C-alpha cells in the first residue's frame, strides 16, 4: 500500500492482496475504515452520519458492510444514512443510487428506517433539493451540515457527487442541496446533489476510485493544475480527505501506483 500526501489530501493506494483484485482489496480496506469511523463517531458523539456515494464503485463496499464481520461491528441503530446525490428517477429505478444501496446494504442490516434519509428523486428536482436541505438542517440542528463521513466517487470528467464541470452548482455557497441539469458522456443528466458547503464541512471524506479507465482523471485531479475540476474543490475546512485508489486507478500518478 502506497501512501502519499498531496496538499491536505492523503492518498492511499491499495495494492491487491494475494490473489485478490484491486477493487475487492479496495472495498475491504474501505469497509474497515467505514466501520472504524462509525464506531469512533458513536463512541464520541452518539451517532454516525454518512453521505453515501452513488455510481457503481461503492457496491462492493456496501456488500461488505452488510456481511460479517462489519455487520456485527457497526452500531446500526446509531448510523444515519444520507446521499451525496441522486438521479431524478423513482427509488425502484435501475439508475437510482438509493436502490443500489437498498439492495446491497440497507435491506441486509438492522438500521431503523427513520435513520435512512433518501433523496426523493421521483419529485420535481428543485423541490426535492429544498426538502432534502430542510431534512439536513433539522438533523444537524442548524444551517450547516457536518457529516462524520462523506463517500465520493470520481467521474471521467472530474465530477464528484453530481457536481459537474462548469455547473452552476459548483458556485453555490449557501444552499446545501440543489437540482442539476448537466451532460455526462454525451447524455443529459438530471440530478439532485449536495453542494460544496454541505460536503466541505465533513469530518472525513473518502474517495473510492478503481480501474485503469480512471487513471488519467485521477492524475489530473491529484497532480494536474489546481482548481478547475469539481473533485479538486472538495477541500474540507476542518476534516481529512483520503483517496483510496486501486493500483490501476493510481497507475499514472508519479511516485505511486
CB of 210 to ligand 6PG, least distance (A): 8
| 29 in contact with ligand 6PG (CB under 6 A) | no
Considering the rule CB under 6 A, would residue 158 count as an interface residue with ligand 6PG? Answer: no
Triad 230, 176, 109: Cα angle to 5°: 90
161 near ligand 6PG (CB under 6 A) = yes
* 183 touching ligand 6PG, by CB under 6 A: no
Tell whether residue 219 is a contact of ligand 6PG (CB under 6 A).
Answer: no
3-state secondary structure of 171: helix
55 binds ligand 6PG (CB under 6 A): yes
Residues 6+ apart with CB under 8 A from 116: 81, 106
**Half-sphere exposure at residue 198, Cβ-oriented, CA atoms within 13 angstroms:** 33
Binding of ligand 6PG at residue 96 (CB under 6 A)?
no
Least CB distance to ligand 6PG at residue 218 (A): 12
The C-alpha cell of 177 is what?
A: 442541496
53 binds ligand 6PG (CB under 6 A): yes
Question: What H or E segment, with its residue span, contains residue 172?
Answer: none
Give Cβ neighbours of residue 24 (< 8 Å, ≥ 6 apart).
16, 60
Torsion angles phi and psi, residue 206, rounded to 5: -125, 110
Stretch that binds ligand 6PG, among 119-127, 147-155, 197-205, 233-241 (CB under 6 A): 147-155
Q: Between 153 and 236, whose beta carbon lies closer to ligand 6PG?
A: 153
Which residue in 23, 153, 158, 230 binds ligand 6PG (CB under 6 A)?
A: 153
CB-nearest residue to ligand 6PG: 153
By CB under 6 A, residue 118 contacts ligand 6PG: no
Number of residues that bind ligand 6PG (CB under 6 A): 15
Q: Is 159 in the site for ligand 6PG (CB under 6 A)?
A: yes
56 lies in the site for ligand 6PG, by CB under 6 A? yes
**Rg of the Cα trace of the chain?**
17
Counting contacts by CB under 6 A, is residue 84 touching ligand 6PG?
yes
Nearer CB in complex with ligand 6PG: 173/187: 187
- In whole angstroms, give the CA distance from residue 71 to residue 56: 21
Q: Is 44 exposed, middle or buried (0-12, 13-18, 19+ CB in 10 A)?
A: exposed
| Cell output for 165 | 464541470
CA distance 12 to 256: 9
- What is the separation of C-alpha 226 from the centre of its chain, rounded to a whole number of angstroms? 21
For ligand 6PG, the binding residues (CB under 6 A) are 53-57, 84-85, 97, 153-155, 159-162
Amino acid at each position: 500500500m502506497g501512501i502519499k500526501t498531496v496538499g491536505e489530501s492523503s492518498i492511499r493506494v491499495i495494492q491487491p492482496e494475494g490473489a485478490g483484485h484491486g477493487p475487492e482489496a479496495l472495498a475491504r480496506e474501505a469497509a474497515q475504515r467505514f466501520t472504524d469511523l462509525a464506531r469512533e463517531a458513536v463512541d464520541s458523539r452518539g451517532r454516525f452520519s454518512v453521505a453515501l456515494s452513488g455510481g457503481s464503485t461503492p457496491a462492493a463496499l456496501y456488500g461488505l458492510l452488510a456481511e460479517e464481520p462489519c455487520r456485527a461491528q457497526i452500531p446500526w441503530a446509531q448510523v444515519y444514512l444520507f446521499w451525496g446525490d441522486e438521479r431524478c428517477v423513482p427509488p425502484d429505478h435501475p439508475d437510482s443510487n438509493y436502490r443500489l444501496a437498498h439492495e446491497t446494504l440497507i435491506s441486509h442490516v438492522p438500521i431503523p428506517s427513520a435513520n435512512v434519509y433518501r433523496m426523493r428523486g421521483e419529485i420535481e428536482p428543485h423541490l426535492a433539493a429544498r426538502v432534502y436541505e430542510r431534512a439536513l438542517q433539522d438533523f444537524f440542528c442548524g444551517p450547516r451540515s457536518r457529516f462524520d463521513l462523506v463517500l465520493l466517487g470520481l467521474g471521467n470528467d472530474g465530477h464528484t457527487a453530481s457536481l459537474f464541470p462548469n455547473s452552476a452548482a459548483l458556485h453555490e455557497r449557501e444552499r446545501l442541496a440543489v437540482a442539476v441539469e448537466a451532460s455526462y458522456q454525451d447524455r443529459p443528466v438530471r440530478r439532485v446533489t449536495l453542494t460544496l458547503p454541505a460536503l466541505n464541512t465533513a469530518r472525513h471524506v473518502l474517495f473510492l476510485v478503481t480501474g485503469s479507465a480512471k487513471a488519467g482523471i485521477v492524475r489530473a485531479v491529484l497532480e494536474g493544475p489546481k482548481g478547475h475540476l469539481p473533485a479538486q474543490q472538495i477541500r474540507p475546512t476542518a476534516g481529512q480527505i483520503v483517496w483510496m485508489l486501486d493500483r490501476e486507478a493510481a497507475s499514472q500518478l508519479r511516485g505511486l501506483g
